[in-house]
């Protein structure tokens, strides 16, 4: 082929490459926030424990903290997940599904959730399945927590915390399970890590936080201990690679719940400072590139001040640049939600009190 004949092909390839990078902001300077729904799981006993409050546009609540929900989803169809694990609410934006995971490992899947409102009563509204099959598939002292869906594969990930160990469940094709099914036990391979609270997933990559575990050995044989943030896949994490851990720089602390910002390619980590008995930045922001070389890496950015010392739930809008956080006092949730619009460029959140609600889960739907 003549050289000149290659020019149209090269031009097309360049256009595709630019299009592929256009939706990722390397400086984290924010992105679109329009048309993003916010889902809040309310675990209060009144008026209806286990209901989901929905604002069809998060901008409405951000602009008016007293704005009433656009929709409320409740009813007996959600009975098994009324005791939601902290952060156990997540949205499958591609499949138009909402998942709710209880502290005991029961999962409710609501199909066509964008059109759901009012009282759900039938199996046509919500399908239940259970992680594992009985106590033999549970850790001693088992409690399930944060859940996340990989929007590419639809795979559901859920943290399970035990008395002396922890793991992350992998549920491939969770949409396939029928009413009252038991999901075979399949978990991400974890290399001696303990007290895992956070999980996030994006395009086959899985991020997770652990509060403790085996020492991580650096290339110079230095040993790093303490809280760690890992990057891996559904197959597992490497023991001594793709991990940010220990040292004075990381600032990782207790709980370490996660959210992934796909528009700006960032990982957010929220800590519960009051339970840790420490001070510092409540939200840390890391770039995926920091995992190599990893180890004692300082965050790319931090968010929040000492007033945000009790964060326990975190969610990001993915391709829509919203960040939301929920709080707790120990194991007791509160009615407060913090909401950021373009969090990296506008790091001060809007504090919103939701009356009698007790917030146990947050999720965004940025599909519009």
Kindly indicate the confidence band of residue 186, based on its pLDDT and cuts at 50, 70 and 90.
Answer: very high
For the CA atoms of 42, 45, 47, 48, the dihedral, rounded to the nearest 10 degrees, stands at: 60
Residue 237 has pLDDT above 80, yes or no: yes
Instruction: Give the global pTM.
Output: 0.91
pLDDT band (50, 70, 90) for residue 347: confident
Mean pLDDT of the chain: 89
Report the alpha-carbon distance of residue 306 to residue 309 in Å, rounded: 6
Mean pLDDT of 361-368: 89
Distance of CA 224 to the CA centre of its chain: 26
What per-residue confidence (pLDDT) applies to 280? 84
**pLDDT value of position 27:** 55
pLDDT for 20 equals 35
- What mean pLDDT do residues 276-296 have? 91
Average pLDDT over residues 307-334: 95
Is the per-residue pLDDT at 18 higher than 90?
Answer: no
pLDDT at 189: 82
How many Cα atoms occupy the beta-carbon half-sphere of 122 within 13 Å? 3
Q: Write down all domains in the chain, each with its CATH number in brackets.
A: 37-365 (2.120.10.30)
What is the reported pLDDT for 275?
84
Judged against a pLDDT cut of 50, whether residue 7 lies above it is answered with no
Banded pLDDT at 276 (limits 50, 70, 90): confident
Strands 181-183 vs 126-131: parallel, antiparallel or unpaired: parallel
Chain segment 23-59, per-residue pLDDT in tens: 344 455 668 999 999 999 999 987 778 999 999 999 9
pLDDT at res. 81: 95
CB under 8 Å to 326, separation ≥6 — which residues? 86, 311, 312, 313, 314, 333, 334, 336, 337, 338, 359, 360, 361, 362
pLDDT above 70: residue 308: yes
Does the pLDDT at position 14 exceed 50?
no
Average pLDDT of the segment spanning 73-86: 93
> Taking residues 188-196, what's their average pLDDT?
87
302: how many CB neighbours lie within 10 A of its CB?
Answer: 16
- DSSP H helical segments within the chain, as ranges? 6-22, 58-63, 273-276
Asked whether 149 and 201 are in contact (CB, 8 A), the reply is yes
- 225 near 193, Cβ under 8 Å? no
């Amino acid at each position: 082929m003549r050289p000149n004949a290659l020019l149209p092909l090269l031009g097309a390839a360049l256009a595709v490459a630019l299009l592929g990078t256009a939706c990722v902001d390397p400086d984290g300077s924010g992105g679109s926030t329009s048309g993003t729904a916010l889902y809040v799981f309310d675990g209060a006993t009144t008026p209806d424990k286990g209901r989901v409050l929905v604002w069809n546009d998060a901008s409405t609540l951000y602009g008016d903290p007293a704005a009433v929900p656009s929709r409320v989803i409740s009813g007996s169809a959600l009975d098994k997940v009324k005791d939601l694990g902290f952060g156990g609410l997540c949205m499958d934006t591609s499949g138009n599904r909402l998942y709710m995971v209880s502290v005991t490992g029961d999962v409710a899947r609501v199909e066509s959730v964008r059109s759901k409102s009012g009282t759900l009563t039938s199996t046509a509204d919500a399908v239940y399945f259970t992680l594992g099959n009985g106590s033999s598939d549970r850790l001693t002292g088992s409690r399930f927590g944060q859940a996340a869906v990989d929007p590419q594969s639809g795979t559901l990930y859920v943290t399970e915390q035990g008395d002396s160990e922890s793991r992350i469940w992998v549920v491939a094709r969770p949409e396939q399970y029928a009413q009252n099914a038991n999901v075979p036990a399949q978990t991400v391979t974890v290399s001696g890590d303990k007290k895992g609270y956070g999980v996030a997933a994006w395009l086959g990559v899985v991020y997770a936080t652990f509060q403790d575990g085996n020492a991580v050995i650096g290339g110079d044989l230095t040993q790093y201990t303490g809280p760690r943030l890992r990057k891996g896949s559904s197959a597992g994490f490497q023991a001594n690679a793709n991990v940010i851990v220990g040292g004075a720089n990381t600032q990782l602390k207790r709980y370490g719940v996660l959210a992934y910002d796909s528009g700006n390619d960032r990982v957010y980590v929220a800590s519960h400072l009051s339970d840790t008995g420490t001070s510092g930045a409540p939200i840390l922001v890391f770039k995926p590139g920091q995992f190599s070389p990893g180890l004692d890496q300082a965050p790319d950015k931090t968010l929040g001040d000492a007033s945000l010392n009790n964060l326990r739930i975190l969610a990001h809008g993915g391709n829509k640049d919203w960040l939301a956080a929920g709080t707790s006092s120990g194991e007791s949730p509160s009615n407060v939600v913090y909401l950021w619009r373009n969090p990296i460029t506008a790091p001060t959140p809007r504090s919103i009190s939701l009356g009698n609600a007790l917030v146990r889960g947050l999720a965004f739907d940025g599909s519009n």
